[in-house]
A and B are shown apart, each in its own frame.
Chain A
Amino acid sequence: MRERWETVIGLEVHAELSTASKIFCGCSTAFGGEPNTRCCPVCMGLPGTLPVLNEKVLEYAVRAGLALHCEIDRETRFDRKNYFYPDLPKAYQISQLYRPIARNGYVDIVADGAEKRIRIHEMHMEEDAGKLVHSEFERVTYPDYNRAGTPLLEIVSEPDFRSSAEVLAYLEKIRSLFTYMGISDCKMQEGSMRADVNLSVRPMGETAYGVRTETKNINSLRAIEHAIESERSRQIHVITNGGKVIQETRRWNDDLKTSVPMRSKENAPDYRYFPEPDLPAIHISEAFLQAARESLPEFAEERQARFVKEYGLPENDAARLVARRETAELFEAVVAQGAGAHSAANWLVVHVPHVLKTLSESAEDAHPDASELAELIRRTERGEISRPDALKVLGALLSAETPFGVADYIRENGMAVENDESALEDAVRRVIAANPKAVEEYRSGKTKAIGFLIGQAMKELKGKSAPATVHERMEAALREPPSVTA
């Protein structure tokens, strides 16, 4: 059946910037920590304190704006947004309304097999609030200001999305751009990327927008999908039953997979924005802008195309390699250290994820040394170590606290396949001489007897030769006519 309703979605994405210190003071931005241990009089909003802009935040914001193809406001400034909430120590948030750092950009995405351009309305800098910890035992709430003052970018899209697949592709694209620039982790589970969904529905073919709602508190990609589907169904249900969607803010409850109204348009707070008098307007010089332009990395798409062209990789492998900047860089480093491109790609898209999975470690936490990984790949390619042993070494490499040498590890653990020709020949000859009965059996057609002989030879060689090579040599030796002993 042809779809009768069109969904129209606009997104407000918050990305936490990964600067070492907060936006207006010197406190650490590290995630977690004992409550209220990563804050100071400035981010606690104590009277007498003043904000001083962390220039790194401006630098990151300009890079982000450029990556999103925005116009950068060369005379940007901050505004104060007023509301009372115990997690907001000053009762105002330093944000940007009138002169945001970036406007009028776009992001190109591919969703449902089609390319699409999502327009960015504006992107601005702001400080994060603290968080409230509700006691499980008493009716008490404790504010924790560790997160207060963490720098955020808010990216406001135009209502250009028509499906959750497009929304997910867009979020993935932003994550890729930001992680490639190293300006944000964009981890939804840690809250370093969050999204609010503005959604309305309209009959297919209608050009006017329907009444929209905003859904907040969505903390994972999966939850975004659920929230979009739920809100779309709810609105269609309201309309088809003769009701009207009201403009309101809703809160997503991920346990119940449903949203509840938070406040209507009538109760919408008046944030009483005004220019932040404690921070002078910021003039962005041409030199600053130029440095930001030059600092932009080769992003995932360009890099993927280059991998296909330069290394002859299949499109699919290249795509998997560039999904994370670290993986893409590791690939190139490993190849530069002498590993074959195809093997390196295979190791990084197949073996590494597989081994990480058995170690139950995430890719973010594993940083194998490129030259050691290259060494391991080279040795495996040359048959100097058996594949099961190679994967053991990889496991050690990925879980190692401190770097170690692959060559030493292989030697110390007796994994080296020596392929010492004379030792091999000697061993085969000795085994044949010492086991006439088995040799006789083999030659009389009981070819299974070779297994025993190979086993004996392997024992003599202490496993230092590849079983396949031993098999080959043993077979050749047995095929020779029995030596005539003088």
Chain B
Amino acid sequence: MGQFVTEIRPGGAIAVDDTIQVKGYETKAGSRILEGFQPLFGAEAVERLEKAGYEIAGKTAVGEFGLDLLGEFSHSGATLGASGGLRGAAAELAAAGTVKGALCADLNGAPRRAAALSGVGFVKPTYGTVSRYGLIPCACSGEQIGVMAKSAGDMRGLLEAVAGHDPKDGTSLPTESYDYADGKAVSEMRVGVVKELTDAASDGARAKVQAQADALRGLGVAVGEVSLPLADAARTAWNILLCAETCNNLSRYDGVKFGYRSPDYRNIDELYVNSRTEGFNFLTKAVILYGSDVLSKGRYFACYDKALKVRRLVWEQSKALFENYDALLCPACGKTEYQPYDIKEAFGAVFAESFYTAIPNLTGFPSVVCGGVQLIGDALQDGRLLNLAEALEGGAAK
């Protein structure tokens, strides 16, 4: 069962993951470094949900800054499924019907993996459509708050409530609000199965993709195979950008103004070093080190700047596919079960899994997880992806 890091508010309906600020709730982003941090304001997405009449159920555990696979290295502890395998906290609560839905931050695919494993839906919306104001920032050029729910219809409703221009976020797109109903009939759609991503997955994960491809064909969708030769480069590029931006965004946790401060220091340098050494877990430290490295003098152009160029190329390559396809179909994660493992292996494990999830973060394209697989669409085609998800639900129900 997924865990709330706070008490469930009676009558509450929507959970919020702990990287997203809710006024009145301690916000730790799964890390000791933010111990005791009370946000002065709630995230824009949360405020909009409340304005739309939704109630906040409470906050759910996340891996430290959302950097791990499924929340296994949260400061509040891992969430395990009945089988003993790793699960995402919010996804398990949604699957159990304890909450109607959840707001989750997606910076390296954690909520998409969680949704696929727990059998619920998740939409990582087009970058810039949901305000990041009030999201504990890590990989700001590609992270987005998304919505998790059992049905595509609930995802659509929640997304419509939170999306729209926010003047407090400089990267927010100008459109005031979005209507996620899409006019195009599913039977007229074309979906491409991404060869590189599907081939690399485990038999179980590949079987899910094949099953959904068949289901789509049954709905009259033209399903073909497509190739994204830059998929591997996309993963590397996104991890470079993610490490660099996260390293930099986590610099503000220095023990000076808020959050955890080591009791043991004699001067400002020791205050920084000891607070950060004790406050961050091993995975976060690895991300910080990789991030410092790719930004350092002499490495910037070989790593960071090149990653920005790869971002552009992947965007172009994907865009070319969207000329002919309404959506790309691929696994949301490489396996169907993940066992607890040692944190020393985490950086490699996340890097391996981000192969399946990196493209939407890198390019800003929307992604919808449903039926255990992932659909990636063109920018602002979130509604079309939700339509496909809805059709698959209906198909599965028949």
Contacts and interface: CB of A to CB of B under 8 A. Distances in A.
Contacts of A272: 248, 292, 295-297, 300
A44 B37 CA distance: 14
Interface residues of B, number: 40
B140 A278 contact: yes
Contact of B251 (A44, A82, A86, A277): A82
A273 B300 contact: yes
A48 B296 contact: no
A48 B252 contact: no
B392 interface: no
B134 A48 contact: yes
A45 to B, nearest CB: 5
Given A47-B136, A84-B251, A41 B300 contact: no
Contacts of A89: 252, 257
Interface string A130-172: 0000000000000100000000000000000000000000000
A480 to B, nearest CB: 87
B40 A84 contact: no
A53 B254 CA distance: 26
Interface in B12-38: 21, 27, 29, 34, 37
Given A50-B168, A280-B170, A275 B308 contact: yes
Interface residues of A, number: 29
Interface string B231-246: 0000000000000110
Given A45-B252, A84-B254, A274-B248, A52 B40 contact: no
Contacts of A53: 170
A86 B268 contact: yes
Interface string A275-293: 1011110000000000000
A77 to B, nearest CB: 11
A49 interface: yes
Contacts of B140: 277-278
Nearest to A85: B268
B272 interface: yes
B251 A41 contact: no
Given A50-B132, A84-B272, A277-B141, A270 B297 contact: yes
Nearest to A91: B251
Which of B141, B169, B170, B254 has most chain A Cβ within 10 Å? B170
Interface string B89-114: 00000000000000000000000000
A41 B254 CA distance: 16
Contact of A48 (B41, B244, B297, B300): B41
B281 interface: no
A449 B299 CA distance: 98
Given A270-B297, A272-B296, A274-B295, A50 B170 contact: yes
A273 B295 CA distance: 7
Interface string B252-294: 1010111000000000100010000000000000000000100
A467 interface: no
Contacts of B158: none
Contacts of A273: 295, 300
Nearest to A51: B170
Given A48-B21, A84-B272, A277-B140, A41 B40 contact: yes
B355 interface: no
Nearest to A80: B248
Interface string A24-61: 00000000000000000100111111111100000000
Main secondary structure of the interface of A (DSSP, over half): loop
Contacts of B300: 272-274
B340 interface: no
B39 A48 contact: yes
Which of A46, A50, A279 has most chain B Cβ within 10 Å? A50
B334 interface: no
Contacts of B134: 48
Contacts of B251: 82, 84, 90-92
Which of B29, B135, B168 has most chain A Cβ within 10 Å? B168
A48 B251 CA distance: 14
B45 to A, nearest CB: 11
A155 to B, nearest CB: 24
Contacts of A91: 251-252, 254
A187 to B, nearest CB: 30
B204 to A, nearest CB: 36
A71 B220 CA distance: 57
A46 B167 CA distance: 18
Contacts of B37: 47
Nearest to B41: A41
Contacts of B167: 52
Contact of B43 (A48, A92, A270): A48
Interface of B: 21, 27, 29, 34, 37, 39-41, 43, 132-137, 140-141, 167-171, 244-245, 248, 251-252, 254, 256-258, 268, 272, 292, 295-297, 300, 304, 308
18 contacts: A45-B252, A46-B40, A47-B137, A48-B41, A50-B171, A52-B168, A86-B256, A89-B252, A90-B252, A143-B256, A270-B296, A272-B300, A273-B300, A274-B244, A277-B140, A277-B141, A277-B171, A279-B170
